[in-house]
Amino acid sequence: MSSIDNSKKQNEIQKKKQEEFENYNFEIDLRWKEFIEHDLKDQIPKNASEKVIKDIKKMWYKQTVDPDFETGINLDEMSQNDKNKQTENQNDKMQNENVEAKDNQTQSKKKDQDSEITENKDKFKPRQIQGSRMMVFLYHIENLLKAIFITSTTHFTRFSHYLAFFICLLAIYRQLKRPRWNKEYGAALLRNEFAHNLIYMIPYSIFSHSRNIIYFFPLMVHFWLGICEYINLRQGLFYKLSHKVVDRTRQNKSNLLLLKAKSEVYMVGYHLFVILVWSFYNSENIQQNILLIVFYVNFLRIKYMMSLNLQTAFAQFNDSAKKNFDAPETNKIVRWTYKKIYQFCLYMVKFDKNDKKHEKQKN
């Protein structure tokens, strides 16, 4: 009987996991987009069937999101089919290569030698920063100020705050050039991450008592990415000394931008904690802390409509919270508090409208 019960439980668990997979929004997950656009760019044919794409999604979902998810895919059959296709393609290629090898052997050797020489030269050439002299000079100043900002946040909070304002203005000018009063410039400005940083800093300009290392963390992550891009472009002494850190940072750019968005979401919980705990010791700042969180929540509502990273962060936060706090075996008080917080998040990012649309499409 126990084995039968265990099998029933496992079947129920797998049904839930299958439902979670079916309801998972792959479109807003930047990791899935990067996997499809970069890792599998030339490997998936354009006329691929829906079954093939779904199998790829299942395997990616198991590796990235839920390792306990059962894909139900027979990997042996897939590997045998792939091997048969590879052998057929290799045989065709070998026949064509044997016919043309005699005529093109000398030319291919010369081309390979020339390409190797040019590649070796390009490896040691420093990359040049494109743009006018004024733009290049401002780019140097921008990254120098970013380095000063990261090193001064722990001791000089007021100086670092205004320095971050100036850095964001320089970056917006570098990316979008001079301001133009048209829709294209306005749309680009609304999607710009440095413009989001300016809006992020406005509430903390009004309530200066809340500026600390936790507030500076999202800005530090973003500015550190910019410094690594700058060092990679220069290819100078700093790159030789720190090329491992720079290359690893650039490879994990999408993950770090997602970390920045997650830290901005966690700031809401931090401010609520400050209101509930710290205000007992300093009652004068209760109203200021409440106003700060009102400003900050509205900032997140605006940014949620413009930023894919923030949408992904909210989706991942919602999925993990459902697994941990909305399960049937969890405590009633915990589930009740989770639902109240979830209703607050619905107001904040307006998930309810999207959910209603998805429900209508399903029905």
Task: Check whether 168 has a pLDDT greater than 90.
Answer: yes
Residues contacting residue 62 through CB under 8 Å, at least 6 positions apart = 69, 70, 71
pLDDT band at 319 (very low <50, low <70, confident <90, very high): confident
Q: How far is CA 4 from CA 1, 10, 68, 70, 339, in A?
A: 5, 10, 20, 19, 34
Instruction: Kindly report which listed range (206-215, 227-236, 274-283) carries the lowest average pLDDT score.
Output: 274-283
Amino acid at the residue 22: E
pLDDT digits (tens, 9 = 90+) for 128-149: 555 678 888 999 999 999 999 9
Gap between the Cα atoms of 324 and 351, Å rounded? 20
Instruction: Kindly report which listed range (18-32, 165-179, 245-259) carries the lowest average pLDDT score.
Output: 18-32
Gap between the Cα atoms of 317 and 143, Å rounded? 32
What per-residue confidence (pLDDT) applies to 277? 73
Amino acid at the residue 306: M
pLDDT digits (tens, 9 = 90+) for 58-83: 887 777 777 777 777 655 545 455 45
Task: Check whether 263 has a pLDDT greater than 80.
Answer: yes
Amino acid at the residue 133: R
Instruction: Kindly report which listed range (187-196, 295-304, 305-314, 352-361) carries the lowest average pLDDT score.
Output: 352-361
What per-residue confidence (pLDDT) applies to 101? 54
Kindly list the domain boundaries of the chain, sorted by start residue: 2-77, 130-251
**What's the mean pLDDT in 198-214?**
78
**What's the mean pLDDT in 212-224?**
90
pLDDT band at 363 (very low <50, low <70, confident <90, very high): very low
**What's the mean pLDDT in 146-174?**
90
Gap between the Cα atoms of 266 and 141, Å rounded? 31
What per-residue confidence (pLDDT) applies to 123? 42
Give the predicted TM-score (pTM) of the model.
Answer: 0.59
Task: Check whether 115 has a pLDDT greater than 60.
Answer: no
DSSP track, 42-109: TTS-TT--HHHHHHHHHHHHHHHT-TT------HHHHHHHHHHHHHHHHHHHHHHHHHHHHHHHHHHH
Task: Check whether 89 has a pLDDT greater than 60.
Answer: no
Task: Quote the longest CA-to-CA distance of the chain.
Answer: 88
